[in-house]
Homo-oligomer: A and B are copies of this chain.
Amino acid sequence: MTYLPGLLDTEAIRKDFPLLDRTVHDGKKVVYLDSAATSQKPRQVLDAMGEYYERHNANVHRGVYTIAEEATALYEGARDKVAAFINAPSRDEVIFTKNASESLNLVANMLGWADEPYRVDHETEIVTTEMEHHSNIVPWQLLSQRTGAKLKWFGITDDGRLDLSNIDEIITEKTKIVSFTLVSNIMGTHNPVEQIVRRAQEVGALVCVDASQAAPHMVLDVQALQADFVAFTGHKMVGPTGIGVLWGRQELLEDLPPFLGGGEMIETVSMHSSTYAPAPHKFEAGTPPIAQAVGLGAAVDYLSAVGMENIHRHEQAITGYAVKRLLEVPDLRIIGPADAEDRGATISFTLGDIHPHDVGQVLDEQGIAVRVGHHCARPVCLRYGIPATTRASFYLYSTPAEVDALVDGLEHVRNFFA
């Protein structure tokens, strides 16, 4: 077995993840290298949700009976856990949504309907980057179409970094919001938050950080980021599907208008008019994802017990090893940073002119699960003039042996299509 400094005790960790025992294609053990799409879930998270449904299931808020009080305490307790996990100044700044996409749409819509000084309209500009997930592009395109605001973006350098050389022309006095990803979901790039935030603050623009690929993998401290909004998603951080988070600065959440209307988000309703509950409830219309919040609470407990610093160190070790081994494969070209510096454990590549679909399919026959396609980041593929990539992504349960399996698998792919 390959020894790398910084590795976690994956033998112990893998016991918590039932799916990692799965076999496919006549007994081949799954090598799951698609955690950037969604992570696997530990028993602890599944048990927390099971326990909720079997013992404490009731609708939250307003119930005066025991089980409803318990359900409310569990749901709001999950909010406390998430707030602590991201070092939020206040629990009331943590909004539960259905996924990161809803979180980002929520920000875009709040700003579209806001009063001054936040209002995005035809005289203002929105800034994003070419490196974004579609979920951080399309909401801004829609906002731009609906308000007339101009959409601008940062490009990408040849080695997969944000090109900030023209930052003063991109972010200007007209900019109302700058929204960018902390970690690229296709190339793994870590982006320089500080420089962007500094410029945004200079011109008085708000900053929204898409932390979907960061929250699962490193310490996320919303105060240190100095952003105004931070979005992420539960299913990528060992939590369940069906829940996302938007953190927002309290005074903004107070000032900005609601998005979805309905039960739970109101203070008082008459047919003529309604007033809204204070944040976070103002932004949580309808029955919330109660069991999923409980699951996400258990997920951050799990991650915290392992330690986000330790997880980060583990992934750095794996990434360094994977980059080195992948570059040994003939005709393999890494799309994005081709080293282990300032990057996460997500590596995209092309393999000669073998189409990624074929790479993925032949890897699957060996039990290796990678993702192929544009990874909801088609502008990156356009930028590099490729139709798609093959992407391997690692997490706290990934091992050097799995890197080796991938490299062997790729050799087999090459021979197969030679």
A interface, CB within 8 angstroms of B: 18-19, 22, 24-25, 30, 32, 34, 37-38, 40-41, 46, 49-50, 53-59, 62-68, 97-102, 104-105, 108, 113, 130, 133-139, 141-142, 146, 151, 153, 233, 235, 240-244, 258, 260-266, 268-271, 273-274, 285-292, 357, 360-361, 363-364, 368-373, 376, 378-379, 382
Contact = CB atoms under 8 A, between A and B. Distances in A.
A379 B270 contact: yes
A229 to B, nearest CB: 16
Contacts of A370: 65
B66 A369 contact: yes
A118 B357 CA distance: 41
Given A46-B54, A270-B382, A287 B59 contact: no
Given A63-B37, A65-B34, A269-B134, A98 B139 contact: no
Contacts of A64: 357, 360-361, 364, 372
Contacts of A141: 261, 273-274
A241 B287 contact: yes
A409 to B, nearest CB: 11
Contact of A242 (B19, B25, B98, B382): B98
Contact of A65 (B62, B100, B262, B363): B363
A288 B369 contact: no
Contacts of A104: 262
A147 to B, nearest CB: 12
B34 A271 contact: no
A134 B139 CA distance: 27
A376 B113 contact: no
Nearest to A244: B286
Contacts of A18: 53-55
A40 to B, nearest CB: 6
27 contacts: A18-B55, A19-B54, A19-B67, A34-B65, A38-B58, A41-B53, A64-B357, A64-B360, A64-B361, A65-B363, A98-B286, A100-B286, A102-B286, A105-B285, A108-B261, A130-B271, A134-B266, A135-B262, A137-B269, A138-B285, A139-B262, A141-B274, A153-B271, A241-B291, A262-B376, A270-B379, A292-B292
